[in-house]
């Protein structure tokens, strides 16, 4: 008998796993996280549903069942550092699922320590990214803990899972018939599988739960002001998880954050992924806009390359890497000047900056203006261009002379 901490969603697969471990004589601690997966829609009884998940785990024979509200930790420790890096995988996906896995791993390890468990277990399959992210993070935190991935060792198909559940008293919820694989938290919602596996098939409207269909979006634009203090965003006085939840509702009503992409998974296959990430997409747009006002040209150019690398590290399961931590330190240094505000216009699927202001802004109207108060030294431009173009002129002359036989 061993003690196993199982990442438990309450769904069919992890319920079958839980029952199998219990029947094999193991002591199972079922751990369920609240990462705000239902906060994209205005109050739909999410916490009641999570209470039921906990009760279900105990009914299935779990030694203990934990429901952990990890929303604040998720936003403060994972999502906001990613925001500072404008982290979008392949330039598009805000990494909602990817960012949650290192936290799930940390909570599995912390719970394993609290209960003296030998192993942690998850329900990831062998094709996805999440197995990589969870296992690398567990190993980085405590290499002595074994990670079990029973669905990878022995894939469980739907009919077998249902048959097992029926034979062993595992209740089957109505969501078993769901045509998609869904993962959601405050930073976004991902929808995979079913008809989406054909990349030519447009996502049916029923894949979306947080974002309004084009016909249902308000015809009038709405403004939202995002304040930043040292890189930390707030909206109407709300910060952290509460702010992201509110933005999901507000931006979602305008259909912002719908993503449909072919994405490169860690294990080397391409997959078709649909997401809706209204809050995170709006926040990244605002953060980028403030950076354009505050950061120097060199900082912006350099940061763009490391921002891309940051997103790749998160996607690829390398959150625990020293390089990611070093990027966080770099971003924290720039964030000291990231104080100011950005006004976004939310309208028909887009969140666009139409105003920005900051005490650290490098925009100087007297230098930029074409009006009367112009302080720019126009006569210095000629000398600047003379020297800036010198190497080009020289290079062109040398190339021309070398190509002329008479000159040799
Ligand atoms: N493709 C996305 C990612 O790797 C979404 C994964 C969602 N996970 C899930 N178990 N449905 O980040």
CATH 3.40.50.620 at 3-82+93-178, yes or no = yes
Q: Is 86 in the pocket of ligand 1 (CB under 6 A)?
A: no
What is the average per-residue pLDDT within 99-114?
98
Q: Is 37 in the pocket of ligand 1 (CB under 6 A)?
A: no
Annotated domain spans of the chain: 3-82+93-178, 185-357, 365-407
CATH 3.90.800.10 at 185-357, yes or no = no
Residues whose CB falls within 8 Å of the CB of residue 327, separated by 6 or more in sequence, listed in order: 85, 306, 309, 310, 313
CA distances from 400 to 158, 390, 405 (A): 71, 15, 10
Please choose, from the candidates 141, 106, 111, the residue with its C-alpha nearest in 3D space to the C-alpha of residue 30: 111
Q: Is 129 in the pocket of ligand 1 (CB under 6 A)?
A: yes
Question: Cβ of 381: how many Cβ atoms within 10 Å?
Answer: 11
Using an 8 Å Cβ cutoff, are 199 and 262 in contact? yes
| Phi, psi (degrees; rounded to nearest 5) at 69 | -80, 100
What pLDDT does 43 receive?
40
Question: Where does 142-201 have alpha helices with state H?
Answer: 150-153, 158-167
What pLDDT does 42 receive?
40
Domains 3-82+93-178 and 185-357 in one fold: no
Under DSSP, the state recorded for 401 is H
How far is 105 from 128, CA to CA, in rounded Å? 16
Whether the predicted pLDDT of 47 surpasses 80: no
What is this structure's pTM?
A: 0.94
Residue closest by Cα to atom 6 of ligand 1: 97
- Taking only the tens place, the pLDDT of each residue in 131-163 is 999 999 999 999 999 999 999 998 888 888 889
Whether the predicted pLDDT of 45 surpasses 60: no
- Taking only the tens place, the pLDDT of each residue in 282-331 is 999 999 999 999 999 999 999 999 999 999 999 999 999 999 999 999 99
Ligand 1 center–CA 134 separation, angstroms: 12
Percent of the chain at pLDDT > 90 equals 86
130: annotated active-site residue: yes
Ligand 1 center–CA 388 separation, angstroms: 48
Please choose, from the candidates 170, 162, 260, 163, the residue with its C-alpha nearest in 3D space to the C-alpha of residue 208: 260
Q: Is 192 in the pocket of ligand 1 (CB under 6 A)?
A: yes
Q: Is 130 in the pocket of ligand 1 (CB under 6 A)?
A: yes
Higher pLDDT, 221 or 161: 221
Q: Is 316 in the pocket of ligand 1 (CB under 6 A)?
A: no
Which of 173, 181, 234, 321 is labelled catalytic?
Answer: 181
Using an 8 Å Cβ cutoff, are 339 and 244 in contact? no
What pLDDT does 49 receive?
84
Ligand 1 center–CA 183 separation, angstroms: 7
Q: Tokens standing for 202?
A: 């447009």
- Taking only the tens place, the pLDDT of each residue in 338-394 is 999 999 999 999 999 999 999 999 999 999 999 989 999 999 999 999 999 999 999
Shortest-distance atom of ligand 1 to CA 181: 11
Within 13 Å of residue 190, how many CA atoms lie on the same side as its CB? 23
181: annotated active-site residue: yes
Whether the predicted pLDDT of 408 surpasses 60: no
């Amino acid at each position: 008998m061993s003690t196993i901490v199982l990442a438990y969603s309450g769904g069919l697969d992890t319920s079958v796993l839980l029952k199998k471990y219990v029947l094999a004589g193991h002591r199972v601690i079922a751990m369920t996280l609240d990462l705000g997966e239902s906060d994209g829609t205005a109050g739909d009884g999410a916490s009641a549903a999570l209470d039921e998940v906990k009760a279900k785990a105990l009914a299935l024979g779990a030694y203990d069942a934990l429901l952990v509200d990890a929303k604040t930790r998720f936003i403060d420790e994972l999502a906001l550092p990613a925001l500072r890096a404008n982290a979008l995988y392949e330039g598009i996906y805000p990494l909602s699922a990817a960012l949650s896995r290192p936290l799930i791993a940390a909570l599995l390890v912390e719970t394993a320590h609290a209960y003296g468990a030998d192993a942690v277990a998850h329900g990831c399959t062998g094709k996805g990214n999440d197995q990589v992210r969870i296992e690398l993070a567990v190993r980085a935190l405590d290499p002595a803990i074994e990670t079990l991935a029973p669905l990878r060792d022995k894939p469980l198909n739907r009919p077998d899972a249902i048959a097992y559940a029926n034979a062993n008293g595992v209740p089957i919820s109505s969501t078993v018939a769901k045509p998609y694989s869904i993962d959601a938290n405050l930073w976004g919602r991902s929808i995979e599988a079913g008809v989406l596996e054909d990349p030519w098939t447009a996502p049916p409207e029923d894949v979306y739960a947080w974002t309004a269909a084009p016909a249902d979006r308000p015809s009038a634009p709405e403004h939202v002001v995002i304040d930043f203090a040292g890189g930390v965003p707030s909206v109407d006085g709300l910060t952290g998880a509460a702010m992201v939840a509110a933005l999901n509702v507000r931006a979602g009503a305008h259909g912002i954050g719908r993503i449909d992409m072919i994405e490169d998974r860690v294990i080397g296959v391409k997959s078709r992924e649909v997401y809706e990430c209204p809050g995170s997409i709006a926040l990244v747009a605002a953060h980028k806009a403030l950076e354009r006002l505050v950061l120097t040209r060199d900082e912006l150019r350099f940061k763009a390359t490391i921002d891309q690398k940051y997103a790749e590290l998160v996607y690829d399961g390398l959150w625990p890497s020293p390089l990611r931590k070093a990027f966080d330190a770099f971003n924290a240094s720039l964030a000291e000047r990231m104080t100011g505000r950005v006004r976004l216009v939310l309208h028909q699927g887009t969140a666009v900056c139409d105003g920005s202001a900051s005490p650290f802004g490098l925009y100087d109207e007297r230098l930029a203006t074409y009006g009367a108060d112009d302080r720019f030294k126009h006569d210095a431009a000629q000398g600047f261009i003379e020297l800036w173009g010198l190497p080009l002129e020289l290079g062109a002359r040398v190339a021309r002379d070398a190509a002329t036989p008479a000159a040799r």
